[in-house]
Amino acid sequence: MPIDIDGLSFEELLELNQRVVARLKMLESMQTHIEMMRFNPGQRVSFEHSGGRLLGTLVKYNRKTVTVVTDTGQRWNISPHLLSPVKDAGTTEPEPPAGDTKKKQLR
């Protein structure tokens, strides 16, 4: 949809520019919000810094960034598109031996 801007006055061009900038900011904000929703506070995340990977916990959503506290205690405000989720190995309880299926009775 081509728009002929050659016939617009200076004031009309300024108004058009303001509307375009506002629309771009809104689209950027929506995209950032979508990226933030991939993560939850308390979730383990990682990100690149100075050629290395830092691990931390997401602690807060900000307007354009998220706050991550690294394992060394540093606080970072990071754009969510730079984060990767960390898959924790998790803790598993040892299973009882296969032959030991009896339950203890309380007396």
* Tokens standing for residue 82: 């730079």
pTM flag (> 0.85): no
In a domain, 91, yes or no: no
Which residue type is seen at 36? Answer: M
CATH number, domain containing residue 78:
2.30.30.140
Does residue 76 lie in a domain region?
A: yes
User: Does residue 43 form part of some domain?
Assistant: yes
**Cα 70–Cα 73–Cα 75 angle in degrees, nearest 5:** 65
- The number of folded domains in the chain is 1
**pLDDT one-digit tens code per residue, 75-88:** 999 999 999 999 87
Per-residue pLDDT of the chain (107 residues; tens, 9 = 90+): 788 889 999 999 999 999 999 999 999 999 999 999 999 999 999 999 988 999 999 999 998 899 999 999 999 999 999 999 998 765 444 455 555 445 555 54
**Beta-strand relationship, 66-70 and 84-85:** unpaired
Q: Can you tell me the distance from the alpha carbon of 80 to that of 46, in angstroms, rounded to the nearest whole number? A: 11
